[in-house]
Amino acid sequence: MPTPATPYLVVDVDRLRRNVRRAADRAAVTGTALRPHAKTHKSPEIARLQLASGAVGLTVATLGEAELFARQGCTDLFLAYPVWVDERCAERLTELARVTTLAIGVDSVEGAARAGRSVGGTGIEVLVEVDSGHHRTGCPPERAGEVGAVARRAGLEVRGAFTFPGHAYARGGAIAAADGESRALAVAAEALRAAGVEPRVLSGGSTPSLELADTDVVTELRPGVYAVGDAQQWELGAMDPGDLALTCRATVVSHAGGRAVLDAGSKVLGADRAAYATGYGRLLAEPGARIVSLSEHHAVVDLAGAPLPPLGSQVDVVPNHSCAAVNLVDRLWVRGTGGPGGAGSAAGPTWWPVAARGLNG
Amino acid sequence: MPTPATPYLVVDVDRLRRNVRRAADRAAVTGTALRPHAKTHKSPEIARLQLASGAVGLTVATLGEAELFARQGCTDLFLAYPVWVDERCAERLTELARVTTLAIGVDSVEGAARAGRSVGGTGIEVLVEVDSGHHRTGCPPERAGEVGAVARRAGLEVRGAFTFPGHAYARGGAIAAADGESRALAVAAEALRAAGVEPRVLSGGSTPSLELADTDVVTELRPGVYAVGDAQQWELGAMDPGDLALTCRATVVSHAGGRAVLDAGSKVLGADRAAYATGYGRLLAEPGARIVSLSEHHAVVDLAGAPLPPLGSQVDVVPNHSCAAVNLVDRLWVRGTGGPGGAGSAAGPTWWPVAARGLNG
Does residue A330 sit at the B interface (CB-CB below 8 Å)? yes
Does residue A111 sit at the B interface (CB-CB below 8 Å)? yes
Q: Using an 8 Å Cβ cutoff, are A204 and A221 in contact? A: yes
Ordered by where they begin, the domains of chain A are: 13-228 (3.20.20.10), 232-320 (2.40.37.20)
Q: pLDDT per residue over B52-67, tens digit each?
A: 999 999 999 999 999 9
Counting residues of chain B whose pLDDT is more than 70, the rounded percentage is: 96
Q: Using an 8 Å Cβ cutoff, are A141 and A184 in contact? A: yes
What ipTM does the predicted assembly reach? 0.96
B336 pLDDT band, cuts 50/70/90, is confident
Q: What span, in angstroms and rounded, lies between the C-alpha atoms of B315 and B336? A: 17
Does residue A331 sit at the B interface (CB-CB below 8 Å)? no
> Across all residues in chain A, what is the average pLDDT?
96
Interchain contact, B271 vs A270, CB within 8 Å: yes
DSSP-assigned states of every residue in A186-227: HHHHHHHHHTT---SEEEE--TTTGGG--TTT--EE--SGGG
Listed residue (A24, A199, A213) closest to A129, CA to CA: A199
Nearest CA distance, B332 vs chain A (angstrom)? 13
Q: What is the pLDDT of residue B340?
A: 45
Counting residues of chain A whose pLDDT is more than 70, the rounded percentage is: 96
Does the pLDDT value for residue A218 go beyond 70? Answer: yes
Q: What span, in angstroms and rounded, lies between the C-alpha atoms of B67 and B352? A: 19
Nearest CA distance, B340 vs chain A (angstrom)? 31
Q: pLDDT per residue over A46-76, tens digit each?
A: 999 999 999 999 999 999 999 999 999 999 9
A251 CB neighbours in chain B (<8 A) are: 84, 86
Burial of A341 (0-12, 13-18, 19+ CB in 10 A): exposed
Q: What is the pLDDT of residue B3?
A: 77
Counting residues of chain A whose pLDDT is more than 90, the rounded percentage is: 95
Does residue A166 sit at the B interface (CB-CB below 8 Å)? yes
Q: B interface mutation test: which of A65, A137, A162 has the most B CBs within 10 A?
A: A137
Q: What span, in angstroms and rounded, lies between the C-alpha atoms of A150 and A120? A: 12
SS3 content of chain B, % helix, strand, coil (to 5): 35, 25, 45
Nearest CA distance, A5 vs chain B (angstrom)? 5
Q: What span, in angstroms and rounded, lies between the C-alpha atoms of A128 and A187? A: 12
Interchain contact, B361 vs A6, CB within 8 Å: yes
CA distances in angstroms from A349 to A44, A72, B208, listed in the order given: 13, 17, 46
Does the pLDDT value for residue B101 go beyond 90? Answer: yes
B346 pLDDT band, cuts 50/70/90, is low
> Across all residues in chain B, what is the average pLDDT?
96
Does residue B324 sit at the A interface (CB-CB below 8 Å)? yes
Helix (H) or strand (E) run with residue A87 in it: helix A87-97
Q: pLDDT per residue over B105-153, tens digit each?
A: 999 999 999 999 999 999 999 999 999 999 999 999 999 999 999 999 9
Q: Using an 8 Å Cβ cutoff, are A211 and A26 in contact? A: yes
Does residue B139 sit at the A interface (CB-CB below 8 Å)? yes
Does the pLDDT value for residue A341 go beyond 50? Answer: no
Q: What span, in angstroms and rounded, lies between the C-alpha atoms of A108 and A230? A: 33
